[in-house]
Structure 1
Amino acid sequence: MKNFNFQAPTSIFFGEGQINKLSRLLKEHGNNVLLTYGGGSIKKNGVYDAIYQELNNEFNVVELSGVEPNPRLDTVIKGAQLCRENNIDVILAVGGGSTIDCAKAVAAARFYDGNPWDFTANSGLVKEALPIVSILTIAATGSEMNGGSVITNLETKEKLSFGSRFVIPKASILDPTYTFSVPSYQTMAGSADILSHLFENYFNKTNDTMVQDGIAEGLMRTVYHYTPIVLKDPSNYEARANLMWASSLALNGLTGSGKDGSWSCHGMEHELSAYYDITHGIGLAIITPRWMAHVLSDETAGKFAEFGRRVFDLPKESSKIMAEKAIKLTYDSFKAWGIPMTLGEVGIDDSLLEEMAEQAVAHRPAGSVPFAPLAKEDVLTIFKASLEEMTF
């Protein structure tokens, strides 16, 4: 295990009715609020009205609506300008990971004179940020409890991230009932995203990380258990609650601290959604089992076998056989949920695969050591394999 510094400073208010804490949480930071949200689903499910009822005309509220599923740089710049013009004290981000990611970039950009896209090349440029309070409406990214943000630059066709402790939300309200109305497509995409966060940290070359891996395995089992339940019964409170909490714990540092190395599938998927604007979790579900199959070797088989035994309860066999079965179960689970499992089903053909593969490798952190190194040819092979159904 590597040395690490772990902090999880976000105050979590979990459960039905916790929105009654909202006014107090905002008042800790000021009265001028930037309310940030996406395409309007919070108006349909009643969250928007509940927010204004709680605020009770005690705050000056400016709205930044229409945040995109892959939040765009232009929206970040617009939000930062609204903050300056209205002397915003605190940002209230309501929605899923995209809205919260956008709010983080806006919070940092408020105090930065340059282009906030600069953060993706150097997170150290973030020296200050507005405080953020979030209300989560979908279990997926874990952005409600971490300092990571992903934004998209349409001009350069890039989707890149930055991270800073300055932008970790001060408080997050997690009410599982707010996820009851999430459509099945977004629900399964969210679960795939949670699993991918766990996979990226779990499949790692750092030795002797039993604590982190044990937490990850428990969270994986939770996602695999409750996702089919929620897809059949969207208003099942316990299922929604378990997925929501798993989302937060999957990427708040618990499973990644003490480990070294870069992620693989997220970098590849970011190219897909940068070029084609597809749903992030769906792209991850398509890419992940092909990546697993591509990197399976004598060196990596043991970890995949361990995954199969502890998450899917596979009986003890040779590592190679267990690994292959675990990969098949990963693929079959996504397919059983109803996720489209080929690139063609989400509108991606082979015309830009090589260009995206080149970009995926170019954006890998310098000097990083992934679970299994990937050159451009490896990424291209994985992309091409994702055009067709997997056979086992």
Structure 2
Amino acid sequence: MESFEFFNPTRIIFGRGAEKKIGEILKGDKIGKVLFVYGKSAIKKIGLYDTVVSSLKENRIEFVEHSGVKPNPVLSHTKEGIEKAKDYKVDAVLAVGGGSVIDEGKTIAAGVKNNRDIWDFFKRNVEIKKALPVYVILTVAATGSEMNGFAVITNEETQEKLSISSEYIFPKVSILNPELTFSVSAQYQAYAAVDAIAHVIEHYLSGIYCPKLQSRFIEGLIKSIMETTEIILKEPKNYNARAEFMWSATVALNGLARLGIKGGGFPNHMIAHALGALYDLPHGACLSIVIPAWMRWYLDKNLPQFERFARNIFNSDKAEEGIENLKSWFKKIGSPVSLKDAGILYKDIDMIAENAYNIAIVWQMEKTYTKQVLTEILKKAND
């Protein structure tokens, strides 16, 4: 097992009605004014907007709204949020929504406290040294952003989708009420499941060595994600299934799953980010296209772990069957499994590979993932 340090400062408040505590929590932390970040109409439709506003007012917390966050949050809107937060001199960011809202909220929190072009942080030209505190009320379980120090933003001008990572953008408090996810559509539940699986399967398969403890932990998460997703698709308001899925998605990317694994990375996310930047596709849809193709390409490089995956997840001794079974499951729940499924033309592969290679350079993965290799993987994803 590799040596490691583990750090996660996020306080989790989990359960029914937990969102009603937000004003009290902010008041207790001596927060007087927040930038209230959310998407479009979803939180209003489920009554969450009114609940949050009521709690803030009851506790005399001033708030400035920053709405309109896109499913793939964009740089221009994020910069508007940074300027708004500076103008109104807010003490913290309150992000109410799914991963996209949280990611934009985190980026705004960093942008307010660092007098630089925020995109410099995404290009890894400079490190984040401080940020406003971030508070979260989660409405879509998928990305794990509610309990980690990552954020992903798309620069719509350059068609780049990049990430930042910093201990300073971990949410201070995240509120998780499974009931707030009851309205998540079947389609987006499918995308969420793919994303959560991707977060644990990447290092599990690409790592040079994955300890048995971590392998079992990851396999347990994958099984829970798959089982609860199938229940949710049939019973959208099944509290226990929503609760278990929600916590599984959080734990999948809160740092625990990767501890002690030697090597590994996020190559599937790298390619998926290129697809998301170029075609504005849902992140989970991009991942379900890429993962089976990458698995076929990487299979011979870590055959024993692929065999373990097939055996422990799908009860098969053949690694290839494990890949095909996962692809079939993605298709079964309604997520695309090929470029063709997403309406992406074969002739676009070179352009996608170029975009992904530029991300590989930023992530320092370009020696393994050359443009030629990326092209090869994308060709496997064509159908």
Q: TM-score, normalised by structure 1?
A: 0.93
Query: Would you say the 8 A contact 2:92–2:135 is kept in 1?
Result: yes
1:33 is aligned to 34
Quick one: percent identity of the two aligned structures?
Answer: 39
Give matches, 1:260-299, under 5 Å.
260-297=263-300, 299=301
Q: Aligned equivalents of 1:306 and 1:348: distance in 2? A: 33
Aligned to 1:101, the other structure's residue is in SS state helix
1:335 is aligned to 331
Q: Aligned equivalents of 1:386 and 1:208: distance in 2? A: 26
Query: Would you say the 8 A contact 1:261–1:369 is kept in 2?
Result: no
Shift, 1:209, TM fit: 2.0
Cα 1:208/1:291, change in 2 over 3 Å: closer
Aligned to 2:64, the other structure's residue is in SS state strand
Q: Paired residue for 1:152, among 135, 151, 154? A: 154
2:62 is aligned to 60
Aligned to 2:115, the other structure's residue is in SS state coil
Shift, 1:261, TM fit: 3.3
Give matches, 1:1-392, under 5 Å.
1-27=1-27, 28-57=29-58, 58-122=60-124, 124-207=126-209, 209-259=211-261, 260-297=263-300, 299-314=301-316, 317=317, 322-364=318-360, 373-388=368-383
Shift, 1:3, TM fit: 2.2
Shift, 1:159, TM fit: 0.1
Q: Which amino acid aligns with 1:51?
A: V
Q: Aligned equivalents of 2:160 and 2:361: distance in 1? A: 15
Aligned to 2:341, the other structure's residue is in SS state helix
Query: Would you say the 8 A contact 1:261–1:368 is kept in 2?
Result: no
Cα 1:359/1:369, change in 2 over 3 Å: closer
119-128 vs 34-43, which moves further: 119-128
Query: Would you say the 8 A contact 2:33–2:90 is kept in 1?
Result: yes
Runs of 4+ in 1 over 4 A off after TM superposition: 365-370
Q: Which amino acid aligns with 2:379?
A: K
212-221 vs 150-159, which moves further: 212-221
Aligned to 1:197, the other structure's residue is in SS state helix
Query: Would you say the 8 A contact 1:92–1:132 is kept in 2?
Result: yes
Cα 1:110/1:367, change in 2 over 3 Å: closer
Q: Aligned equivalents of 1:305 and 1:94: distance in 2? A: 41
Query: Would you say the 8 A contact 1:132–1:169 is kept in 2?
Result: yes
Q: Number of aligned pairs? A: 380
Query: Would you say the 8 A contact 1:285–1:341 is kept in 2?
Result: yes
Shift, 1:366, TM fit: 7.0
Aligned to 2:270, the other structure's residue is in SS state helix
Query: Would you say the 8 A contact 1:37–1:65 is kept in 2?
Result: yes
Cα 1:113/1:346, change in 2 over 3 Å: same
Q: Deviations over 1:257-313 (max 9, x none)?
A: 33323221000010000011000001101111111112221x422111111122223
Shift, 1:350, TM fit: 2.6
Query: Would you say the 8 A contact 2:232–2:242 is kept in 1?
Result: yes
Query: Would you say the 8 A contact 2:14–2:177 is kept in 1?
Result: yes
Shift, 1:365, TM fit: 5.2
Shift, 1:359, TM fit: 2.5
Q: Which amino acid aligns with 1:271?
A: A
Aligned to 1:110, the other structure's residue is in SS state helix
Q: Aligned equivalents of 1:219 and 1:263: distance in 2? A: 18
Query: Would you say the 8 A contact 2:37–2:66 is kept in 1?
Result: yes
Aligned-pair RMSD on alpha carbons? 1.8
Q: Which amino acid aligns with 2:73?
A: P
Q: Aligned equivalents of 1:68 and 1:37: distance in 2? A: 9
Q: Aligned equivalents of 1:64 and 1:17: distance in 2? A: 24
Q: Aligned equivalents of 1:122 and 1:373: distance in 2? A: 19
Q: Aligned equivalents of 1:64 and 1:368: distance in 2? A: 34
Q: TM-score, normalised by structure 2?
A: 0.95
Q: Aligned equivalents of 1:26 and 1:351: distance in 2? A: 52
Cα 1:323/1:126, change in 2 over 3 Å: same
Q: Deviations over 1:199-240 (max 9, x none)?
A: 112113332522222211110010111111101111011111
Q: Aligned equivalents of 1:367 and 1:172: distance in 2? A: 28
Consecutive unaligned residues of structure 1, counting only runs of 5 or more, are none
Q: Which amino acid aligns with 1:273?
A: G
Cα 1:149/1:244, change in 2 over 3 Å: same
Q: Which amino acid aligns with 1:226?
A: T
Shift, 1:78, TM fit: 0.8
Consecutive unaligned residues of structure 2, counting only runs of 5 or more, are none
Query: Would you say the 8 A contact 2:349–2:378 is kept in 1?
Result: yes
Query: Would you say the 8 A contact 1:64–1:79 is kept in 2?
Result: yes
